[in-house]
Amino acid sequence: MPPGSPLLLKGFEVELYTGRDDGTVVGCSAEAAAALPGFVTEPDHRNLEYITAPETDYDRLLVLLLEPRQRLRHWLGQRGLTLLPGSTLSLGDSGHFERSNPQNPYHDYIEHTYGTRVVTASVHINLGLRAMEPLFAGLRLLRCEASLLLALSASSPFLDGVPTGAHSQRWLQFPLTPEQVPLFLDHGHYIRWMEQQLEAGTMQNVRHLWTSVRPNGDDRPYGLNRLEIRICDLVSDPLVLLAITALAELRLWQVQRDPQRWDPLLASSLDRAELALLADANDRAAARSSLDAQLRDWRDGTPIQAQQWLERLLGEVAPLASELGLTAVLAPLEGVLRHGNQAMTWLRQHREGSTIRAILGGEVASMAAQELRLSAMTGTDPALGLLG
């Protein structure tokens, strides 16, 4: 946390599909990354990524989310393309890999090991913590509540032109690596475990820890300065993304202030191995049913619906949100709980007779219109992406 700031540093890694107005995916990541500063390729060229600079202030974070996206939209528009919502290849084709860089040996490993299971779009949320004890206490809490963040963000109910039966097909298909990740006791435990995985070959490099929440830093596993939430599907609405981020930040503040109450290692009646299994099972349940999922509370294993848990959680963070000036930032979550997340909305439209192509086409237009409104509000030029 920077001196004088009441809030944590935060940053985003945003993965997006590119394509046509009707939701058809068209890959162009290598060309876009070469033309636009700040964009990078993924192994498959149908999606690409941009990373925002660390910032404490939520108003500024909104600008940092919008500005690269507007530059990309302008570039895509000249080619008859646009940005697509959702976290899977909703209209296909997941039957083949489309390499962004055929010469990259790590991409070669990814394609041959995982195939198109990894061709997904998502948003990773990074929250800055430099002290190791709060970082690992926060990691334990967010690991045990990651399912709630997925329940809010689920946006991948379709794959290859059909409903999958899940709300987050992305999380169900993405290959968690290694398959079993413990609840880390402290920094030393994390370092030893990472070194063991690298030596055993279950991880190819320090980045190859694909789990719901992980420690992050420029010299992993030794030099850490943030937590990275990896479980969220792509959140098309920047205001909802900021609200999810604020909820996670408030939870990190709560566990710092009162670890006896909020650190699962200290506050749960379950042991560490049981907590890790519970967290992973909750994540899978949330991927299948999101807000309707039956989860188990990490404090004692009691069954609870995701929506009810989130309603309780918003009540628990409300006083701290008021203290830190985050009440308004959190407000969009009430709408998600009242009307459903993106996956639930799309599935409702599909049950009522809309085709997947029509649903995606409508969402493409809504996504672009909202960004235009927010850009006007923040002073971001919608054509060039320059701050006014």
Q: What residues does 214 pair with on adjacent strands? A: 228
Spatial CB neighbours of 58, under 8 Å, sequence gap ≥ 6: 7, 242, 245, 246, 326, 329
**Residue 335 forms part of a structural domain:** yes
Task: Report phi then psi at 294, rounded to 5.
Answer: -90, 115
* DSSP letter string, 127-181: EE--SHHHHHHHHHHHHHHHHHHHHHH--B-EETTEE-S-SBHHHHHS--BSS--
Structure tokens at 273: 């191995």
Residue 89 DSSP code: -
139: domain range?
10-378
CATH number at residue 311: 3.30.590.20
**Residue 384 forms part of a structural domain:** no
Cα separation, 142 vs 145, in Å, equals: 5
Antiparallel, parallel or unpaired: β 82-84 and 213-216: unpaired
Spatial CB neighbours of 127, under 8 Å, sequence gap ≥ 6: 8, 9, 10, 138, 226, 227, 229, 245, 248, 249, 252
**Residue 256 forms part of a structural domain:** yes
**Residue 5 forms part of a structural domain:** no
Reported as a single tens digit per residue, the pLDDT across 65-111 is 999 999 999 999 999 999 999 999 999 999 999 999 888 888 888 89
Reported as a single tens digit per residue, the pLDDT across 183-240 is 999 999 999 999 999 999 999 899 999 999 999 999 999 999 999 999 999 999 999 9
* Full-model pTM: 0.95
Give rounded-to-5 percent helix, strand, coil for the chain.
50, 15, 35
**Residue 98 forms part of a structural domain:** yes
Q: What residues does 12 pair with on adjacent strands? A: 125
Task: Report phi then psi at 287, rounded to 5.
Answer: -65, -35
**Residue 173 forms part of a structural domain:** yes
Structural domains of the chain, count: 1
**Residue 23 forms part of a structural domain:** yes
* pLDDT (tens place) for every residue of the chain, 388 residues total: 334 458 999 999 999 999 999 999 999 999 999 999 999 999 999 999 999 999 999 999 999 999 999 999 999 999 999 999 999 999 999 999 999 988 888 888 889 999 999 999 999 999 999 999 999 999 999 999 999 999 999 999 999 999 999 999 999 999 999 999 999 999 999 999 999 999 999 998 999 999 999 999 999 999 999 999 999 999 999 999 999 999 999 999 999 999 999 999 999 999 999 999 999 999 999 999 999 999 999 999 999 999 999 999 999 999 999 999 999 999 999 999 999 999 999 999 999 999 999 999 999 999 999 999 999 888 765 444 333 3
**Residue 1 forms part of a structural domain:** no
Residue type, 298: W
